[in-house]
Amino acid sequence: MVASTAFGLLTPIAAQATEAVNLEEMDSYSRSSSKVKKFDSNTFANEISEDIATLNGRVDGIEARQNNFDAGSFSSTTAMDGKAVFAVGGVDGGDTIGGSEALSFAYVYKMNLNTSFTGDDNLYVRLSAGEWGSNFTKKPGNYHIEAKNTDNKLKLDKIWYTFPLGDNATVWVGPAIENYYMMAATPSIYKPGVLKAFKLGGNGAVFGASTDGGAGIKYEFGDSGLAMSTNYVGKGSLSTSGILTDGDKSKIDTMIAFTKPQYHASVTYSKQHAGWDAHEYYSTELIHGNVGDSTKLGSSANADAYAIRAYWRPEDAGTAMPEISLGYDLINFDNHPLDVSEGSGYFVGLGWQDMIQADDRIGFALGQPVKATSVTTGTLNEVEPFLWEAYYSFKPNDSITITPAIWGGTDVESSTDQDIFGAMLTTVFKF
């Protein structure tokens, strides 16, 4: 009877994972079990067998429900990582470039989801939520490398699918992607401490990008280090104008790169159509047409742009010899609304790793944002822009990175009065 009662109690406990316990049945069972029973030598074994059969039936039911749940649950081939970024700082002269000089806070929260269906492919999704205000989002002078404004709402930021094509080719396709994610190689090893302007060796004439629908392919020539890529991104992909049409504001980038562990060299050609204007991260107002009555490049404006990139790093970290990244951009316009025919800019970035403690980094960069160098008619009236930054980045543990940084510039975008100096502390929590 003791064994029978124990198994009888286990049965509703096992069932409660998927259904409520029947209190009436338990009460009825309690009353009936209190009565005196007559039993012979087989009764005890029979009751145990019956209760075990009942318990097994309940367990089988739970397993069946669990299998159904697993079939529709989160895929085991999906990996998630992310980060939260806190930033606090201020910019002396920030009011001259559209912000203010006030000490300000900013944050962003990002989640990356990577799912493979074959083991060789990948579906990438990025979700972001952030609030940066205007003090750290004015291009190029104070746009932070982590800046993201979503009005504190978690939103889909990126989504694309990658798969191999044969042994040497990789294909990208997606409704929310940028050209530089589909390159033959990473063109710079300098990691900006503050300014997104210094990303990719100068985020201007060629690599200045917009998140839209696009596709691309990369081909690697075995282990030689030589690779090629071509990709397309167009704003018409999510509008009535459609893709690859005369009205599609689009950009096609083609790169040839040679990369080895210690060095890299590449040339990228960019064909920009129907007023593509994502140059602001590293250019003057005259270049992207944001002057006077002309607020952007018109739909009739086209451009051909070229980017030369190179980097070198020493064999061993922790030495006085820095990593060196170089960049030069050239752009030629047709039908520019302000009659600009040509522009250029340059970048120099230096980096030292493991200098004071393991995994720390010292960075210094300087450069000239892309500026107009000639016009088709009239007299060229352009500023002499200049930007720089310096920072020290260290890790108190494997998941947290703290980066104090300073930066500044002169004639930043459109005026000789635009001289700035900023200081910021950025903390990144990775998970």
Which tens digits make up the pLDDT trace of 142-198?
999 999 999 999 999 999 999 999 999 999 999 999 999 999 999 999 999 999 999
The residue-averaged pLDDT of 380-389 equals 96
- Taking residues 373-386, report their average pLDDT: 95
User: Which of 37, 71, 105 is where one domain is finished?
Assistant: 71
Q: Are residues 47 and 123 in the same domain?
A: no
What is the rounded average pLDDT for all residues in the chain? 86
Return d(Cα 199, Cα 369) in angstroms, integer: 12
- Taking residues 249-267, report their average pLDDT: 97
Whole-number Cα distances in Å, 164 to 193, 282, 290 = 34, 33, 41
Residue 140 and residue 183 in contact, taking contact as beta carbons nearer than 8 Å: no
92 shares a domain with 66: no
65 shares its domain with 89: no
Per-residue pLDDT of 71-129, as tens digits, reads 445 567 899 999 999 999 999 999 999 889 999 999 999 999 999 999 999 999 999 99
CATH of the domain at 240: 2.40.160.10
Residues 46 and 94 in one domain: no
Same domain, 59 and 85: no
Strands 263-273 and 250-259: what pairing?
A: antiparallel
Question: Do 119 and 61 share a domain, yes or no?
Answer: no
- Enter the tokens of residue 138: 């004015």
Q: What is the pLDDT of residue 53?
A: 57
- The sign of the torsion formed by the CA atoms of 337, 338, 339, 340 equals negative
Give pLDDT, residue 77: 83
Specify whether 109 is located in the same domain as 60: no
pLDDT band at 297 (very low <50, low <70, confident <90, very high): confident
Is the pLDDT reported for residue 29 higher than 50?
no
pLDDT: which is higher, 391 or 67: 391
Domain boundary among 71, 91, 111: 71
Residue with tokens 């900006």: 192
Shared domain for 102 and 208, answered yes or no, is yes
φ and ψ at residue 423, rounded to 5 degrees: -140, 140
pLDDT at 133: 83
DSSP bridge partners of 424? 89, 405
Residue 298 binned pLDDT confidence (cut-offs 50, 70, 90): confident
Please state the separation of Cα 374 from the chain's center in Å: 35
DSSP string, 258-304: EE-SSEEEEEEEEEEESS--TTGGGB-HHHHT-BTTB-S--TT-EEE
Last residue of a domain, one of 71, 92, 115: 71
Residue 59 has pLDDT above 80, yes or no: no
How big, in percent rounded to 5, are the helix, strand and coil portions of the chain?
A: 20, 45, 40
Alpha-carbon distance of 378 to 154, in angstroms, equals 48
Phi, psi torsion values for 46, nearest 5 degrees: -65, -45
Question: Pick the residue with more confidence: 138 or 33?
Answer: 138
Residue-level pLDDT at 289 = 81
Find the domain containing 309 and state its range.
Answer: 78-430
Number of domains in the chain: 2
> Which residue did the predictor score with more confidence, 244 or 276?
276
Q: Residues 388-393: what's their mean pLDDT?
A: 98
Range of lowest pLDDT (68-77, 157-166, 322-331, 365-374):
68-77
* Residue 58 pLDDT grade (very low, low, confident, very high; cuts 50, 70, 90): low
Given a contact cutoff of 8 angstroms between Cβ atoms, the answer to whether 137 and 106 are in contact is: no
Average of pLDDT values for 366-388? 96
- CA–CA distances in Å: residue 360 to residues 15, 82, 144, 363, 402: 54, 21, 20, 10, 10
Instruction: Decide which of 415 and 44 is more confident.
Output: 415
Query: What is the predicted pLDDT for the residue at 7?
Result: 40
The pLDDT value recorded for residue 84 is 98
- Which comes out higher in pLDDT, residue 46 or 387? 387
Residue 14 sits in the same domain as residue 160 = no
Provide the pLDDT for residue 9: 40
Which whole number is the average pLDDT over 314-343? Answer: 95
Residues 291, 250 share a domain: yes
Q: Are 43 and 102 members of one domain?
A: no
Interhelix angle for 2-15 vs 23-33, to 10°?
Answer: 180
Q: At 134, is the secondary structure helix, strand, or coil?
A: coil
Do residue 189 and residue 206 come from a single domain? yes
pLDDT confidence bin for 246, thresholds 50/70/90: confident
- Report residue 5's pLDDT band, with 50, 70 and 90 as the boundaries: very low
